[in-house]
């Protein structure tokens, strides 16, 4: 897994609540057997109209908003366990998703793919969305080591939580499989105890 | 120290606690299907790691299979490839597969309980969020992502932080015609879709104690729709009776020994939960949803609430409904009875009991999709097939079908579907499709009437 370091980027605002993984990547695109190319179908039915033409009113199609940070409404990633949602966001170019709340499975999937979910207070989320709407060029800094998210050119800053083990994995590019296969003897001993 | 049911099962499976970090949790049973497993097998291949415990994995094809002509090759090339890849991966790694054409094939959350694979006190995972279903047996069961599928392949373990605990107690007696589906839709409508995030739920009280295993599975299945990773119900005589004599259930003395252990799997008197909610059974009525998440539910005879929230308004616009509107009388052209929530024999008995002697309305396309080959056989053996077909319902072969808009079974854009499935998200049943979640009874009544009716007037 790619190492996560401090990110400085513009951000895309998506202030909709309860965005489920069916919206992030509809089920009809889950027929692939690899992890490549899901970005093309990210938010497919919001980015494109039924006839396949671009939906100009959707924020990802606004030229003024760009960047590797997605700022979304409360309870992002609810619903299906499909990891394809994390793959699609990452493949599209996002490295951080910011929300006031994340669904459990999505959060785990994101972390396992080097996509950092940053959970902030509803007040800070509101402020971020306002500032980006006023000035889409605003840059946001996400510092994983210090666990801080700040708005460049302002004093606005907030800390965020991350499991210390997961933080270590992200910063070093390690994943759970590496960790678990090194525990094989412990696991086998546990199985003997169970039997 | 007083323990909850969840604590007991969890603590029994902790291999090791990482200092200042997560715990290594041992997984007893790993269920896999064609959609969320190929990339996990590929991950193992890239790292040159074998599957650690193939005997503890069971596979089936369900999400991406057609529900008619299953004896013929799958028409859609991508779906066919995915199903074949599952077959090849299972063969290569020595994993039991109940694929298309096998008598045990069906929706993963229907077959594991009916085969006796699901048992009390187990830890069960699957790359599918509705794995919470198996909690009905007093097991810890939850959905995982594909990276975690690979972790379980590699080590039969997961690295997890212990979730917080919640208990939802429903006491009293349910009214006539109020089913397990109504109970869970009611709870989610009261608590909201993220109320359970970070929690594992225990359902307790009179209502769940007297509920059938099928009903308990419906309830636990939808735990994820309030954000909870899983939900569980303490095993009791109803559980033991259900598990007894099933193909993979322990037999004879082994079974008696297991029962002695399973009986200890209850929450200790005085054990503390991080959150508790109480509801009265008498307050619950037959439920429907009106919006685009499962928390947007009302009693069938209530009106859509008022709210000026932007997400709420976006949702109503998608559904084509108005604030303050009643949905009784709304014409419905599609009815789907199936999915891992409601495709067990009891669900079809309820539907057939209502449909018997009636015909479906001419405007309705009514799809009946059994959860498994075994359920399909039982539908035939009990004479339900005849009832459905005489009434003009289309009885299909087992699979996830119209629940998720992935296989051939989709609802056309703009159309309403009264569905016994679990999610009413935008486009869930097909691009532009509008889903109204309900019980098998409301679904059956809608198919017969061609519109939503206030079922309570027929029940009293």
B401 touches chain A (CB under 8 A): no
Report, as ranges of residue numbers, the positions in chain B whose pLDDT lies below 50. Answer: none
Do residue A176 and residue B428 have CB atoms under 8 angstroms apart?
no
* Nearest CB to B155; choose among A16, A17, A181: A181
B459 touches chain A (CB under 8 A): no
User: Quick count: other Cβ atoms within 10 Å of Cβ B425?
Assistant: 28
B128 touches chain A (CB under 8 A): yes
In this predicted structure, the answer to whether residue A195 has a pLDDT above a threshold of 80 is: no
Per-residue confidence band for A4, with pLDDT thresholds at 50, 70 and 90: confident
Residues in chain B: 460
CATH fold for the domain made of B164-236+245-251+258-283: Aconitase; Domain 2 (3.40.1060)
Task: Identify the CA nearest to B360 among candidates B391, B400, B389.
Answer: B391
Tens of pLDDT, residues B414-436: 999 999 999 999 999 999 999 99
How large is the ipTM?
A: 0.96
> For position B15, what pLDDT does the model report?
98
**Using CB atoms within 10 A of its CB, is residue B55 exposed (0-12), middle (13-18) or buried (19+)?**
exposed
Tens of pLDDT, residues A23-54: 999 999 999 999 999 999 999 999 999 899 99
Percent of residues, chain A, with pLDDT higher than 90: 94
Per-residue confidence band for A194, with pLDDT thresholds at 50, 70 and 90: confident
* B45 CA: distance to closest CA in chain A (Å): 13
d(C-alpha A59, C-alpha A40), whole Å? 15
Task: Identify the CA nearest to A106 among candidates B202, B224, B428, B124.
Answer: B224
Q: Higher model confidence: residue B222 or residue A178?
A: B222
Do residue A104 and residue B197 have CB atoms under 8 angstroms apart?
yes
- Phi, psi values for residue A84, rounded to 5°: -55, -25
**Positions of CATH 3.30.499.10 in chain B:** 5-160, 287-458
b or e along A66-95 (b: 16 or more beta carbons within 10 Å of the residue's beta carbon)? ebbbbbbbbbbbbbbbbbbbbbbbbbbebb
> For position B460, what pLDDT does the model report?
66
A63 touches chain B (CB under 8 A): no
**Positions of CATH 3.40.1060.10 in chain B:** 164-236+245-251+258-283
> For position B429, what pLDDT does the model report?
98
Asked if residue B22 lies in contact with residue B132, where contact means CB atoms within 8 angstroms, the answer is no
Q: Which residues contact B146 (CB under 8 A, 6 or more apart)?
A: A83, A84, A109, B36, B37, B39, B40, B43, B127
In CATH terms, B5-160 corresponds, of 3.30.499.10, 3.40.980.10, 3.90.1150.10, 3.40.50.800, to 3.30.499.10
Tens of pLDDT, residues B130-152: 999 999 999 999 999 999 999 99
> For position A5, what pLDDT does the model report?
84
Do residue A31 and residue B314 have CB atoms under 8 angstroms apart?
no
Task: Identify the CA nearest to B418 among candidates B388, B444, B456, B399.
Answer: B444
Q: What is the SS3 assignment for B337?
A: strand
Percent of residues, chain A, with pLDDT higher than 70: 100
**C-alpha torsion angle, residues B340, B342, B347, B352 (rounded to 10):** -110
> What DSSP line would sit under B228-296, residue for residue?
-SEEE----HHHHHHHTT-TTS--HHHHHHHHHHHTT-SPPTT---SEEEEEEGGG---EEE-SSSTT-
* A130 CA: distance to closest CA in chain B (Å): 16
In this predicted structure, the answer to whether residue A3 has a pLDDT above a threshold of 90 is: no
B88 touches chain A (CB under 8 A): no
CATH fold for the domain made of B287-458: Aconitase; domain 3 (3.30.499)
Chain B residue with minimal CA distance to A187? B15
């Amino acid at each position: 897994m790619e190492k996560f370091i401090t990110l400085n980027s513009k951000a895309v605002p998506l202030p909709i609540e309860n965005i489920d993984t069916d919206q992030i990547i509809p089920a009809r695109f889950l027929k692939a057997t690899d992890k490549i190319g899901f970005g093309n179908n990210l938010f497919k039915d919001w980015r494109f109209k039924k006839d396949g033409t671009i939906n100009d009113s959707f924020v990802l199609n606004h030229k003024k908003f760009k960047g590797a940070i997605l700022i979304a409404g409360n309870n992002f990633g609810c619903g299906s366990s499909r990891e394809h949602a994390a793959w699609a966001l990452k493949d599209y170019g996002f490295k951080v998703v910011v929300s006031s709340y994340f669904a459990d499975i999505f959060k785990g999937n994101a972390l396992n793919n080097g996509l950092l979910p940053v959970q902030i207070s509803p007040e800070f989320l509101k402020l971020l969305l306002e500032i980006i709407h006023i000035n889409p060029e605003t840059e946001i800094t996400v510092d994983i080591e210090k666990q801080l998210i700040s708005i460049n050119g302002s004093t606005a800053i907030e800390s965020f939580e991350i499991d210390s083990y997961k933080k270590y994995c992200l910063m070093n590019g390690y994943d759970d499989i590496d960790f678990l296969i090194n525990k094989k003897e412990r696991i086998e001993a546990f199985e003997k105890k169970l039997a | 120290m007083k323990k909850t049911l969840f604590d007991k099962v969890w603590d029994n499976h902790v291999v090791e606690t990482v200092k200042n970090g997560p715990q290594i949790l041992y997984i007893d049973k790993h269920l896999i299907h064609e959609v969320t497993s190929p990339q996990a097998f590929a991950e193992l291949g890239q790292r040159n790691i074998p599957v650690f415990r193939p005997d503890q994995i069971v596979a089936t094809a369900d999400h991406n299979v057609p529900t008619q002509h299953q004896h013929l090759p799958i028409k859609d090339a991508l779906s066919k490839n995915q199903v074949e890849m599952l077959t090849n991966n299972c063969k290569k790694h020595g994993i039991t597969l109940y694929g298309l054409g096998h008598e045990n094939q069906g929706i993963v959350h229907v077959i594991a309980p009916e085969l006796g694979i699901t048992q009390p006190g187990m830890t069960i995972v699957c790359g599918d969020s509705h794995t919470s279903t198996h909690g009905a047996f007093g097991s810890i069961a939850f959905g995982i992502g594909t990276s975690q599928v690979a972790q379980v392949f590699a080590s039969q373990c997961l690295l997890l932080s212990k979730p917080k605990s919640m208990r939802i107690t429903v006491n009293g007696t349910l009214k006539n015609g109020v089913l397990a589906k109504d109970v869970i839709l009611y709870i989610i409508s009261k608590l909201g879709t993220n109320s359970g995030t970070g929690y594992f739920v225990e359902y307790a009280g009179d209502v769940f104690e007297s509920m059938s295993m099928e009903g308990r599975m419906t309830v636990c299945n939808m735990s994820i729709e309030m954000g909870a990773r899983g939900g569980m119900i303490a095993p009791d005589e109803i559980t033991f009776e259900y598990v007894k004599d099933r193909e993979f259930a322990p037999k004879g003395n082994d079974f008696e020994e297991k029962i002695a252990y399973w009986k200890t799997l209850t929450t200790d008197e005085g054990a503390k939960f991080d959150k508790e909610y109480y509801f009265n059974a008498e307050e619950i009525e037959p439920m429907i949803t009106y919006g685009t998440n499962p928390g947007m539910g009302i009693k069938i005879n209530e009106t859509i609430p008022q709210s000026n929230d932007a997400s709420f308004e976006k949702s109503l616009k998608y559904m084509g409904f108005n604030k303050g509107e009643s949905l009784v009388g709304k014409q419905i052209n599609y009815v789907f009875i199936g999915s891992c929530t409601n495709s067990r024999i009891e669900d079809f008995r309820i539907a057939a009991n209502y449909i018997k002697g009636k015909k479906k309305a001419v405007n309705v396309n009514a799809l009946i999709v059994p959860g498994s080959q075994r359920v399909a056989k039982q539908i035939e053996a009990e004479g339900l097939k005849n009832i459905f077909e005489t009434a003009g319902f289309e009885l299909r072969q087992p699979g996830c079908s119209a629940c998720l808009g992935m296989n051939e079974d989709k609802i056309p854009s703009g159309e309403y579907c009264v569905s016994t499935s679990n999610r009413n998200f935008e486009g869930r049943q097909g691009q532009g499709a509008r889903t109204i979640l309900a019980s098998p009874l409301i679904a059956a009544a809608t198919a017969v009437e061609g519109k939503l009716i206030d079922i309570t007037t027929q029940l009293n």
